[in-house]
Chain A
């Protein structure tokens, strides 16, 4: 079974703090993704990576950055947390290219971040 783990289930931070969310997958997947999920807005893609040291902006990258130094690990960084970044953050990974079933995404359990 694919296993995607996230460093924290719940996190409380203060406005202006730098926040690191870590994600690790154990299936040698090429692609990794960060989403946030908010009521009424669904899942929105923040950033994704299709290879080590590669990153692509998703639909809402503003206020976030990412790092992928190792294939199994993908970090989401909030440089200066703000209250509107309070959300559920979900990490996912997939094996490979689209159209082959290899783009099926497997999710971690999520981190519920509250910024005060």
Chain B
């Protein structure tokens, strides 16, 4: 099993749609989980941390299932500006983070 695995997409959705991304990770000892966003030719930027209880930030909801080693990101009411690549990120032992290869989202009008 790869350390962090994501569906690469692309996901092509119309404005206003709800879209969900999934991610699995292999290290059951991981403690930190994140979603990063990367725009074309730009650096990755933190979108949100993911907590065991699940957390929400506006239109974005992240969930963590430790038993299944599964992380999800839900985007409601998609905007054109949400078009980007979304990276699932999990910590390895110590301070290193492992980045998934990303899921590409394209929102069209």
Contacts and interface: CB of A to CB of B under 8 A. Distances in A.
Interface string B49-76: 1000000000000000000000000000
Given A42-B99, A97-B95, A104 B34 contact: yes
Interface residues of A, number: 28
Interface of B: 31-32, 34, 42-46, 49, 87, 91, 94-102
- The interface residues of chain A, by DSSP majority, are classed as loop
Contacts of A108: 43
Interface of A: 30-31, 33, 35, 40-43, 45, 48, 50, 56, 58, 90, 94, 96-99, 101, 103-110
Given A58-B96, A104-B49, A41 B43 contact: no
Contacts of B46: 104-106
- The interface residues of chain B, by DSSP majority, are classed as loop
A34 B12 CA distance: 32
A105 B23 CA distance: 19
A43 B89 CA distance: 11
Nearest to B44: A107
A15 to B, nearest CB: 25
A67 to B, nearest CB: 19
